[in-house]
Amino acid sequence: MLIQIADQYNDELIKLRRHFHMHPELSFQEEKTPAYIADYLRQLNIDVETGVGGRGVVGRMIKDPSLPTLAIRADFDALPIQDEKEVPYKSTVDGVMHACGHDAHTAVLLITAKILSEHRDAIPGNLVFIHQHAEEVDPGGAIQMIADDCLKGVDAIIGQHVSSSLPVGHLGYKVGTVTGIPDDFWITLQGRGGHAAHPDTTVDPVAAAIRLCNDLQYIVSRQVKPTSPAVLSITMLKAGEQNNVIPDTAAISGTIRTFDAETQSLIYNELKKCLEGLVTTTGITYDLKYLKGYPPVVNTAEEMMMIVDAAKKVDSITKLVELEPALGGEDFSYYLQRVPGAFFYTGTRNENFKADFPHHHPKFDIDEQGLMNAVKVFLQSVEDYFQEVNQ
């Protein structure tokens, strides 16, 4: 089994992760990262396509087009966050960091590809390595890469995400729906400013914004069925610059998270009603920008259980955790709308190494010793997949 030789690649795995961590690039602005990935894959004698869907990279190890084909996906974009860790591999790019683990995802897939390429003769099928750009920002890189035929010939797909919620040695899984639908909204309230001592001569957008923020909280608590999980969070409120001036405008933005299209539509419609009510009662006008997010990740049972069975063969994985659905978003969902597959979570939490901050935090880090678990699960899943489909 390939997992028996994987540990000898651990130093290179960590070196790759730290390289990407030190040189992050924002979504849809990735240049050096895909170039590095492409060069690495070419050195493995893997056929490489660049610029897939814009900035994606696809490596193909095709032995025979008539054989089954399994794809493995990783994402490589970073976030507009200042890295506040004091570590040797701290981001060298001001205001940009890998605060979600995509550096680790990329390193894991590259080492997986390296091991598989060195043993390609023993693999009775085809492999496709999908390195995806722009997972963090809608419309996301997945749908663009799919439109550019990254799934050509693919019969199934697997992927993983490091998790700061799971300790090293734990692996999280879920059959069926895993993630939610992450919608975002931006609202500009247009009023008529004036002197703060004479509010009767103005149309106050600040007062309207405060009322709107309160009204929006009633949507989830009083309009959505208690059995339908949903979140509406206001994350930004901006208005005015001086104490004695009522401004002309106020801006509000936030996110809405749901699991199904019916609840998503209900909340959107109620949001519109709240805005129309403000027009009537306060006299403001508004501009609404609403962006629907990725569909839910829905793992197929056969592929998910294949990963669970593979994880049971990895000695360093000490616990399998069946997860509850979470309202975060992930555009791996688009691949699963086209082919069967599964997405799992690799534990990288370790308080002793300060690797316990949440994703998207300025001090986010991982215990790198957890990464080899992801490599081994990928390797074992590949072996098990082709053994099963070739029976």
Query: In whole angstroms, how large is the CA radius of gyration of the chain?
Result: 24
Q: Does position 291 have pLDDT exceeding 90, yes or no?
A: yes
Q: Does position 190 have pLDDT exceeding 90, yes or no?
A: yes
Q: What is the mean pLDDT of residues 288-303?
A: 97
Q: Are residues 29 and 130 in the same domain?
A: yes
Burial 299-318, CB ≥16 within 10 A → b, else e: bbeebbebbbebbebbeebe
Residue 1: the pLDDT is 86
Question: What is the domain-level CATH number for residue 314?
Answer: 3.40.630.10
Q: Are residues 283 and 382 in the same domain?
A: no
Burial 222-246, CB ≥16 within 10 A → b, else e: eebeeeebbebebeebebeeeeeeb
Q: Are residues 277 and 256 in the same domain?
A: yes
Look at the chain and report how many structural domains it folds into.
2
Binning pLDDT at 50, 70 and 90, where does residue 391 land?
confident
Q: Does position 270 have pLDDT exceeding 90, yes or no?
A: yes
Q: Are residues 286 and 300 in the same domain?
A: no
Which of these three, 291, 322, 351, is where a domain ends? 291
* CA separation for the pair 9, 118 (Å, rounded): 12
DSSP string, 245-256: EE-SEEEEEEEE
DSSP H or E stretch at residue 186: strand 181-190
Is 102 annotated for ligand binding?
A: yes
Q: Are residues 132 and 199 in the same domain?
A: no
Is 23 annotated for ligand binding?
A: no
* CA separation for the pair 270, 325 (Å, rounded): 25
Q: Are residues 94 and 236 in the same domain?
A: no
- Residue 57 pairs in a beta bridge with 50, 131
Q: Are residues 271 and 314 in the same domain?
A: no
Q: What is the mean pLDDT of residues 147-160?
A: 98
Q: In this prediction, what percent of the chain has a pLDDT beyond 90?
A: 98
Q: Are residues 164 and 32 in the same domain?
A: yes
Which of these three, 291, 313, 342, is where a domain ends? 291
Q: How many other CB atoms are there within 10 angstroms of residue 275's CB atom?
A: 20
Residue 390: the pLDDT is 83
Cα end-to-end distance, the chain, whole Å: 18
Average pLDDT, the chain: 97
The residue segments making up the domain with residue 356 are 2-179+296-389
Q: Are residues 150 and 17 in the same domain?
A: yes
Q: Are residues 287 and 308 in the same domain?
A: no
Residue pLDDT, tens place only, 220-258 = 999 999 999 999 999 999 999 999 999 999 999 999 999
Q: Does position 167 have pLDDT exceeding 90, yes or no?
A: yes
Q: Are residues 143 and 282 in the same domain?
A: no
Is 131 annotated for ligand binding?
A: no
Q: Are residues 207 and 135 in the same domain?
A: no
Binning pLDDT at 50, 70 and 90, where does residue 219 land?
very high
Residue 117: the pLDDT is 98
Is 119 annotated for ligand binding?
A: no
Question: What is the domain-level CATH number for residue 226?
Answer: 3.30.70.360
DSSP H or E stretch at residue 285: strand 285-291
Is 98 annotated for ligand binding?
A: no
Q: How far, in whole angstroms, is CA 202 from its chain's centroid?
A: 44
Which of these three, 247, 276, 291, is where a domain ends? 291
Residue pLDDT, tens place only, 308-358 = 999 999 999 999 999 999 999 999 999 999 999 999 999 999 999 999 999
Residue 251: the pLDDT is 98
Q: How far is CA 355 from CA 87, 119, 348, in A?
A: 12, 34, 7
Residue pLDDT, tens place only, 114-134 = 999 999 999 999 999 999 999
Q: Which residues contact 279 (CB under 8 A, 6 or more apart)?
A: 285, 286
The set of catalytic residues is 77, 135
